[in-house]
Chains A and B, each alone.
Chain A
Amino acid sequence: MNVFEKMLAIDRRWIFLAIGVAVILPFFFPLGLPVVVTPPVQHLYDAVDEIHPNDAPLLLSIDYAPATLPELEPMAVAILRHAFERDVNVVVMTLHPAGYGLAESALLTVAEEMGQEYGTDYCFLGFQPGTSAVILGMGVNIATVFPEDAYGTPLAEIPMMDGMRNYDDIPLVISLAGWSAAEAWVYYAYQPFGQAVGAGVTAVMATDFYPYLSSGQLVGLLGGMRGAAEYEVLIDTLDKGVQGMDSQSIIHIMIIILIVLGNIAYFGARRRRKLEETEAA
């Protein structure tokens, strides 16, 4: 076997090991790479910044499942910190059944950290099935879709929900989702009701949302852990998003090197085979 064929025959477990080491090492030896903010994230930050304190709330729809938690929870935490720091009221809900526990966990953690009071500064509506039906129904009357909060308290008895009827009373909706929920908010909240919508999605999905950004259907977009890291830089509180950027940087470099090496090995082996066939002939 020539060197190229030996390269192609490498046991893939060596690659797995290299990736594992590359992910873990930066947690012990941080690189501290600077994160530059991009316009889509800046626009979403500005939209949250424009919400009046102690007035109409931000509606945060935490629509992700455990599979996409590492990418999307840092976004949720950063947005909640930003809102609470500015005394912006926050209403949290979820369109995913597994999102209930995750939304509650993120919300209560940040609320306790920042000394917020349930019912006055934030509330949690919980989960309702039927993505499009929920979003459309909230455009007419929120209380029809969510008659109570997640803990059984009627919405009319929650101080911050007093006077809140539908999207006319909500300045901004942000959906954090690893599936089509963010698009559903554009289709069923922005289009019929003119509701301002922002989104936070996984890096793989982010490319799908650039048409909505370009047309103004989305006010801003967070894409993957990079989006969370940029938002953390903007709120000046560095956390898991920025922490993950070191590992992600190394992994991306490794994958590019693997692509180059794989192609060198493939074309080198192919060329050698052709030469050998020519010589044999």
Chain B
Amino acid sequence: MRRQIPLALCFIAGLFMAVQYFIPHPAVQNTYELLLSWLQTLLAFAFLLGTVSLIRMHFHKIRNRADDRAFSWVTLIGLVGMIGLGFFHPQHQLPGSPFNLMFLNVQVPIEATMFSLLAFYIASAAFRAFRARTLEATLLLIAACIVMLGRVPIGDLIHESIPAATQWILNVPNLAAKRGVMIGVGLGMMATALKIMLGIERAWMGGSD
């Protein structure tokens, strides 16, 4: 029963969501809208699960006196601080609130900086790792150089054929390859969804089969 009930629920819900698309009857559409609102509630709980998991992980690090527990302290203090500001400050919903100020002046610069570090590592990788060892790698590097030039104003200044070549690369070989990948991924997703609905694929339930 422990496995049959979730499998049955999965099959019924999956079948309903597929079939409702073709049945405009109000009873079916009202049920569909109800399920959508349930889905939103479930996904909101996913945020809660993630937060609890994060707190547990860092709490264990602190309790076990791990070497990097200082970072765990920073994480938990930041988490509790932002939750406090977000829930308990009287004007937490308004622009200019302490929660907003902390978000815009601390979290935003930190995250933007972390992502910006990629530019430095890409430049280093360009020198140390991008090698034209094979024909395919050479073609890739040539295409990359053309697109990099074509996507900045200097490419337009050097010669009008560079942006034209860039647009051709994006509109023809890139489009063809992406389309092929997307069709393959779409077919794979359909097959996986059917397998999950029919109970053939059971990894989502966890535990042993």
Contacts and interface: CB of A to CB of B under 8 A. Distances in A.
A151 B94 contact: yes
Interface in B178-209: 178-179, 182
A194 interface: no
Interface string A8-33: 10101001101110010000000001
B167 A252 contact: no
A68 B118 CA distance: 12
B40 A129 contact: yes
Interface string A156-171: 0000000000000000
Nearest to A224: B151
Contacts of A252: 148-149, 151-152, 154
Contact of A34 (B128, B156, B174): B156
Secondary structure type dominating chain B contacts: helix
A129 B44 contact: yes
Contacts of B93: 150-152
A103 B44 CA distance: 20
Contacts of B127: 10, 12, 15, 258-259, 261-262
Secondary structure type dominating chain A contacts: helix
Contacts of A8: 128
B131 A263 contact: yes
Given A19-B119, A140-B33, A152-B93, A101 B100 contact: yes
Contacts, number: 161
Interface in B33-58: 33, 36-37, 39-40, 42-44, 46-47
A191 B165 CA distance: 32
A248 interface: yes
A108 B110 CA distance: 22
Interface in A38-92: 38, 65-70
Interface residues of B, number: 59
29 contacts: A8-B128, A12-B128, A19-B123, A33-B152, A34-B157, A38-B163, A65-B111, A66-B107, A66-B112, A69-B112, A98-B107, A98-B111, A101-B104, A128-B40, A129-B44, A130-B44, A137-B37, A144-B37, A150-B93, A210-B170, A210-B171, A211-B178, A252-B149, A252-B152, A259-B130, A259-B141, A259-B144, A262-B128, A263-B132
Interface of A: 8, 10, 12, 15-16, 18-20, 23, 33-36, 38, 65-70, 97-98, 101-102, 104-105, 108, 128-130, 132-134, 136-137, 140-141, 144-145, 150-152, 192, 203, 207-208, 210-211, 214, 223-224, 226, 245, 248-249, 251-256, 258-259, 261-263, 266
